[in-house]
C-alpha cells in the first residue's frame, strides 16, 4: 500500500468516515474471505500517524507482513521543529518499542535527512546516538539539497557539501551495521520467501522474506518451479559481499 501520507487516509461515504485503520481492516477481511495467498506491505508512514491500534491489528494479520518504514528525518527535536514535522523523537522511540513488543522480528526501516539548514555538529550527534540505540533494521539516508519555492531555503546556516557528504557516510555505515545485526538474529530460523522470476539466467534465485530480508538460493537446490512462488526456507548465513542472506529449502 503506497501513497502520500497513507496514515492520513480519510474517505467519507454515506455519512460514514473511513480512516486508515478502517481501510486496512477492510482489505484484510476481503482477502480472508476469498482465501487468497497474498502479502501486503505498508509504504512509509509517519510515527504520529502509526496509531497503536494499527500496530496491534497488524501483529495479528495473516496478510500484512511484519515490515514497517517509519521516517524519522532527524534525531534532534530542534531540527524536527525546523522541518515542521508533526512529531518529536520521543514519540518515534515509543513507536519502535511498541512494534518490537507486538512483532519482535519485524523489519523497521527509517529515513534520515542530513545537512538540513542549521544542523550543527551537536544536532548530528544527537541523531547518530539516537539511531544507534534504536532497534531498527536499516536507515535510508538522504542528503539535504536546495529546492526553490520551499521554506527551508530561507533558513540560515547552510551546511557545506563536504560536511553533508561525511555525515551521510557515517549514517550509511551505521545502517549497514544495523542491517547485519537484524539479519544475524534471523539466521537459523524458518521464513517464507516469495521468489522472483529469474530474468538474467542467474545461478541464484532471489526473493524477500515476509520481514523484508533479501535472500538468494542456489539452483542446485531447486527447480524453476520456485519462480513466483512462496517457499519455506532456512536462513543459513549472510553473504556480506552482496548484503544478502543465503537460504536453503526447508521441507
CATH number of the domain where residue 124 is located: 3.80.30.20
| pLDDT given at position 157 | 80
Residues 81 and 171 reside in one and the same domain: yes
Residues 89 and 26 reside in one and the same domain: yes
Residues 161 and 74 reside in one and the same domain: yes
Q: What's the predicted TM-score (pTM) here?
A: 0.93
Residues 243 and 182 reside in one and the same domain: no
Residues 28 and 78 reside in one and the same domain: yes
Residues 39 and 135 reside in one and the same domain: yes
The domain spanning residue 209 has which CATH number? 2.40.50
Residues 86 and 205 reside in one and the same domain: no
Residues 85 and 147 reside in one and the same domain: yes
Range of the domain at 208: 190-249
Residues 72 and 149 reside in one and the same domain: yes
Residue where a domain stops, chosen among 170, 186, 202: 186
| pLDDT given at position 135 | 98
Tell me the C-alpha to C-alpha distance, in Å, between residue 190 and each of 40, 94, 248.
20, 29, 10
Euclidean distance between CA atoms 8 and 49, whole angstroms: 7
Residues 42 and 155 reside in one and the same domain: yes
Buried (b) or exposed (e) across 147-163, using 16+ Cβ within 10 A?
eeeeebeeeeebbeeee
Euclidean distance between CA atoms 143 and 112, whole angstroms: 8
| pLDDT given at position 202 | 86
Residues 135 and 216 reside in one and the same domain: no
Task: Evaluate whether residue 159 is within a structural domain.
Answer: yes
Residue where a domain stops, chosen among 164, 186, 208: 186
Task: Evaluate whether residue 223 is within a structural domain.
Answer: yes
DSSP 152: G
Along the 251 residues of the chain, how does pLDDT read in single tens digits? 998 889 999 888 777 889 999 999 999 999 999 988 899 999 999 999 999 999 999 999 999 999 999 999 999 999 999 999 999 999 999 999 999 999 999 999 999 999 999 999 999 999 999 999 999 999 999 999 876 655 655 566 889 999 999 999 999 999 999 999 999 999 999 999 999 998 888 899 999 999 999 999 998 888 778 999 999 999 999 999 999 999 999 97
Task: Evaluate whether residue 1 is within a structural domain.
Answer: no
| pLDDT given at position 37 | 86
Which among 166, 124, 171, 117 is positioned nearest to 144, based on CA atoms?
117
Residues 75 and 51 reside in one and the same domain: yes
What is the tally of structural domains in the chain? 2
Euclidean distance between CA atoms 184 and 176, whole angstroms: 12
Amino acid at each position: 500500500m503506497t501513497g502520500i501520507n497513507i496514515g492520513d487516509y480519510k474517505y467519507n461515504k454515506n455519512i460514514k468516515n473511513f480512516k486508515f485503520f478502517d481501510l486496512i481492516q477492510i482489505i484484510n477481511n476481503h482477502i480472508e474471505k476469498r482465501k487468497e495467498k497474498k502479502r501486503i506491505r505498508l509504504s512509509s508512514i509517519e510515527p504520529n500517524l502509526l496509531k497503536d491500534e494499527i500496530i496491534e491489528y497488524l501483529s495479528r494479520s495473516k496478510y500484512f507482513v511484519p515490515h514497517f518504514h517509519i521516517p524519522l528525518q532527524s534525531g534532534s527535536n530542534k531540527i524536527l521543529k525546523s522541518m515542521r514535522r508533526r512529531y518529536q523523537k520521543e514519540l518515534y522511540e515509543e513507536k519502535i518499542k511498541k512494534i518490537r513488543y507486538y512483532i519482535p522480528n519485524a523489519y523497521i526501516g527509517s529515513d534520515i535527512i542530513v545537512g538540513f539548514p542549521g544542523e550543527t555538529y551537536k544536532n548530528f550527534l544527537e541523531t547518530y546516538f539516537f539511531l544507534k540505540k534504536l532497534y531498527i533494521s536499516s536507515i535510508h539516508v538522504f542528503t539535504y539539497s536546495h529546492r526553490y519555492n520551499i521554506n527551508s531555503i530561507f533558513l540560515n546556516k547552510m551546511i557545506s557539501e563536504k560536511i553533508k557528504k561525511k555525515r551521510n557516510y557515517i549514517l550509511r555505515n551505521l545502517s549497514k551495521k544495523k542491517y547485519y545485526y537484524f539479519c544475524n538474529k534471523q539466521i537459523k530460523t524458518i521464513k517464507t520467501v516469495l521468489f522472483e522470476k529469474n530474468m538474467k539466467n542467474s545461478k541464484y534465485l532471489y526473493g524477500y522474506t515476509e520481514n523484508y530480508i533479501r535472500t538468494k538460493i542456489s539452483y542446485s537446490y531447486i527447480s524453476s518451479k520456485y519462480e513466483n512462488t512462496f517457499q519455506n526456507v532456512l536462513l543459513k548465513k549472510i553473504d556480506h559481499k552482496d548484503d544478502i542472506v543465503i537460504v536453503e529449502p526447508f521441507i
